[in-house]
Amino acid sequence: MREENWWRGAVIYQVYPRSFRDSNGDGIGDLVGITQKLDYIADLGVDGIWLSPVFRSPMDDFGYDVCDYRAIDPIFGSIEDFDALLERAHSLGLKVLLDQVLSHTSNQHPWFIESRASRDNPRADWYVWADPRPDGTPPTNWLSIFGGVAWQWEPRRQQYYLHNFLASQPDLNFHCAEVRRQLLEEVEFWLERGVDGFRLDVVNFYFHDVLLRDNPPRPPAERFAQGFSPNNPYAFQLHHYDKTQPENLDFLRELRRLMDRYPRKMLVGEIGDDDSLATMASYTSGNDKLHTAYCFELLGPTFSAAFIRQSVERLEGMIGDGWPSWAFTNHDVARVIGRWGDADAPPELARVLLALLFSLRGDVCLFQGEELGLPQAEIAWEDLRDPFGIAFWPEFKGRDGCRTPMPWDAEAPNLGFSGARPWLPVAESHRRLAVSLQRDDPNSVLNQCREILAWRRRQPALRRGDIRFFDSPGESLVFSRRHPGQNLIACFNLDASPVTIELPDLGAINPFDDAGFGAELEANRVKLAPYGAFFGETGSQATGPA
């Protein structure tokens, strides 16, 4: 693998710092705690880590409301703690990506405090301000993802400001050249410090329509939003004007030019849009914007082999020379076992989903605990911390259920996360899946995850190859991955019933050791057990088991 392109086919492990490991006994995870567990992450066989925000913040949205882009929040530690984490990660061969929230800040950021003071101060145009309509109502019909209108009245200026999320998260005005220059300086600060790249939060939200046109309504039959509450009015609009504006592409090119001055750095963008797949293709093509991007297509409630195939094939038909990333779970959605299964789902489901995720073309974002097969945690109303969930309870319970502390030790207080009461309660359903119980079990989801990742590293077709799907019965998926010198066939059964698959005519097939995946190859047929998987090397150059 060429070092400058290390990110192509990489597996990035997402760490949610508040919930990973508490080293100082205050009930909140921290940088020292992460550093103490970096050996565990490295042993998984991943290529790097993505740290959810650790910048100084009032924590209204748990770090996604930044009030100082260059300071570590004291609850996580110090800048020296971050430097130590970075050094240790690099010594273990792990890259480190920071979560950069550039679209908005906290309303406690000094920039906003100055901007809201008057209409003629030096930062007056740094945020999105607009006069009310003649009747005093907001300037557009735009809505906040977290519910309600996306405009907040500011009496000091007698104007509204835009917030696509909480009212305490005002949107920066990317039409202002000074804002763009300043944000590039904030990014460069961390590049100079040695980070290996950035995960860009809501990367298609940077620019708004300068003419402030109203969004059109979405037809009632189409009112859905992958990953969001089904009763969120945000899904009632087509978001033509509040995000994904054409000017965004020029800023991404500017940001990429900065990144290219620092060798071997990368950008992965988060995209939430009316047509997220098309935006992924647009934002990653041409080798002059994002290196890669992911969306919520496979992070929603829809689970079927047909939907997964349709999503991947549609993106492949548009992306050209761009490069995708895929995730089944992250800090914004219910854990995949909770969305696509239930709390009693067998470990085989977790294992086959990991095998499938690691086999798709693109990079992989693996959320902490996914390697353990953790189900979604149930959080009582009185324990909720997520403002999104509080606003939409009980129809939508928010994001706290995927953010509960990591279960390190089944016998320790708070499952080994902290000696104090954690900021979110540990999930009792996670006790039987703790690292301490899975570590020495060769058949555990954790160890099978390690085995799959170790095997994947040796397969150039899985890291860099193209992908082609074939028809198959029921809830099964069959596709090939091809790279010069290697052709692979991969089969997955996503159902609780066995299935027999007629393999496509790709030449001789030599099966790889299925590591207990429950597959039997007979001539050109493969029999898959419930939640089984099969990998084989195909063609006249097939070399047999790895």
* Single pTM value for the model: 0.96
The topology (CATH level 3) of 458-538 is Immunoglobulin-like (2.60.40)
Is 50 exceeded by the pLDDT of residue 524? Answer: yes
Task: For 405-446, write each residue's pLDDT tens digit.
Answer: 999 999 999 999 999 999 999 999 999 999 999 999 999 999
Q: Is the dihedral of CA 141, 142, 143, 148 positive or negative?
A: negative
Is 50 exceeded by the pLDDT of residue 283? Answer: yes
With both helix axes pointing from N to C terminus, report the angle between 247-260 and 276-284 in degrees, rounded to the nearest 10: 40
pLDDT of residue 473: 97
Does 505 participate in catalysis according to the annotation?
no
Task: For 350-403, write each residue's pLDDT tens digit.
Answer: 999 999 999 999 999 999 999 999 999 999 999 999 999 999 998 888 999 999
Q: How far apart are CA 118 and CA 129, in angstroms?
A: 11
What letter does residue 231 receive in the DSSP assignment? T
Is 60 exceeded by the pLDDT of residue 44? Answer: yes
Catalytic residue among 201, 273, 297, 475: 201
Question: What would the two tokens of residue 82 be?
Answer: 């971050």
CB 524 within 8 A of CB 531: no
Does 186 participate in catalysis according to the annotation?
no
Query: Beta partners for 130?
Result: 160
Catalytic residue among 99, 154, 196, 270: 270
Could you tell me the end-to-end alpha-carbon distance of the chain, in angstroms, rounded to an integer? 19
Q: Grade residue 338 by pLDDT with cuts at 50, 70 and 90.
A: confident
Average confidence (pLDDT) over 28-38: 98
pLDDT of residue 516: 54
| Mean per-residue pLDDT of the chain | 94
Task: For 493-515, write each residue's pLDDT tens digit.
Answer: 999 999 999 998 888 777 776 44
What letter does residue 414 receive in the DSSP assignment? G
Q: How far apart are CA 437 and CA 378, in angstroms?
A: 22
